[in-house]
Structure 1
Amino acid sequence: MANGPFHLPTSRLIAIAVVAGLTAGAIGVYVMGGMSGNNAPEMSAADPAAENACAAKIEAAKAAGDAAQGEVAAMLGASPPQDLSGLAFNAPDGAPMTIADLSGKTLLVNLWATWCAPCRHEMPALNQLQKDMGDDRFEVVAVNVDTGDDEKPKRFLEETNVDALGYYRDSTLGLFNDLKRRGLALGLPVTLLIDDEGCMLANMNGPAEWASPDAKRLIDAAM
């Protein structure tokens, strides 16, 4: 009975566990999904000109998708690319901002929370990616979405020596819900690769090894 229900291959069991974990994370977020965002309680109306400009970047999105291999193979090229310049959250100084405020840089935007185990696991790698590649052309924008005050997320960053990432924040889940309405977020973590004009070239749900050579090749391809 090697193929019976009580003798699943190890790889199959791992896959089931991963899916279950992602589903549990998604449920944890959706339970609190009724809140509105810091400075965008509803998904902002699309700018037709910006949407059209982003949609025309099919080749750039395809290049990003083709470059997503190995440790970052779950990153999917956008089809079509879309304008995310209006995504709203808070800057490290607490002021409201959007992706448009970071125009001119290629961005790896990552949504994370302290209660999300895969998020916690990948934060040091995101920190290292920022140390290795962050400059005036590229930034890792890790946005914490814990509800409540700043004490818990800041303590986590300090305890794990995450010192290169800006403390971007949305304590209301408005940002996550905006991405959920766009069909881009199933749970946490969520990662978006956005070009210097605010166009999403690729996205993924789930964690990755962001300090790897594979991740760096992906960023190079996007820039």
Structure 2
Amino acid sequence: MAACDRQSADEAQQQENSAAAKPDEALSGIVDRSQAGTPLPEVTVADPTGTTLDLAKAGGKPVLLNLWATWCAPCVAEMPLLDRLAAEKADSLRVITVSEDMKGAELVVPFFAEKKFAHLPQWIDPRNDLAFGMGGGASLPLTVLYDTDGKELWRVIGGFDWSSDEARAMLAEADG
């Protein structure tokens, strides 16, 4: 499985610039439907300006929730794809990216500036409450699709090619 395995938060966070993986390895995530029906988590995240988002109230249209970190190679590999997806699907899908970097805005803001992401939000969860609460504390990226009612349809553990036909077919499940 192509995901960043975090055995210890301290060691994982030391890998700030270790995001180098082969694209085919970085984007070979595993689809898991075992948590279908689970509601959006009751966790509040913040952006670098201090604005907050209550995830449980983020519905209204399908939500693609992505947990990532700057030190995670598969995360970094899929972020440009998520940025393009967010632009393409802005009217029909809300893409929410949440950084699990313990240094928060200190790493996220320059990362977004360097990569020139224009369509992804900079939500931050430096205590990793969200990742551990969703059972994803050991592997990043973790991406979950929720329907318009805020119920989980599926999750992908590891990086994924969000431009692929497979991804498009899976995302279409939220429309029906």
TM-score (norm 1): 0.64
Equivalent pairs counted in the alignment come to 161
1:187 maps to amino acid: S
The answer to whether the 8 Å contact 2:43/2:129 transfers is no
RMSD: 2.5
1:192 aligned to 2:148?
no
Query: Higher Cα Rg: structure 1 or 2?
Result: 1
Gaps of 5+ in 1: 1-18, 33-70
Instruction: After TM superposition, list the pairs within 5 Å mapping 1:6-155 onto structure 2.
Output: 19=1, 22=3, 25-29=5-9, 74-91=30-47, 93-135=49-91, 137-155=92-110
Counterpart for residue 160 of structure 1: 115
More strand by share: 2
The answer to whether the 8 Å contact 2:36/2:154 transfers is no
1:74 maps to amino acid: I
User: Aligned pair in 2 of structure 1 residues 78, 146: CA closer, same or farther (>3 Å)?
Assistant: same
User: Aligned pair in 2 of structure 1 residues 28, 159: CA closer, same or farther (>3 Å)?
Assistant: farther
- The whole-number CA distance in structure 2 between the counterparts of 1:214 and 1:31 is 34
Percent sequence identity is 27
TM-score (norm 2): 0.79
- The whole-number CA distance in structure 2 between the counterparts of 1:193 and 1:119 is 16
Shift of 1:80: 4.5
Shift of 1:91: 4.9
User: Aligned pair in 2 of structure 1 residues 29, 145: CA closer, same or farther (>3 Å)?
Assistant: same
The answer to whether the 8 Å contact 1:92/1:166 transfers is no
- The whole-number CA distance in structure 2 between the counterparts of 1:87 and 1:122 is 24
User: Aligned pair in 2 of structure 1 residues 173, 109: CA closer, same or farther (>3 Å)?
Assistant: same
- The whole-number CA distance in structure 1 between the counterparts of 2:63 and 2:36 is 18
The answer to whether the 8 Å contact 2:32/2:156 transfers is yes
1:197 maps to amino acid: D
The answer to whether the 8 Å contact 1:147/1:172 transfers is yes
- Residue deviations 1:97-119 (CA, integer Å, cap 9, x gap): 32233221101100010011110
Higher relative contact order (CA 8 A, sep 6+): 2
- The whole-number CA distance in structure 2 between the counterparts of 1:202 and 1:179 is 13
- The whole-number CA distance in structure 1 between the counterparts of 2:32 and 2:93 is 19
- The whole-number CA distance in structure 2 between the counterparts of 1:107 and 1:30 is 30
User: Aligned pair in 2 of structure 1 residues 72, 78: CA closer, same or farther (>3 Å)?
Assistant: farther
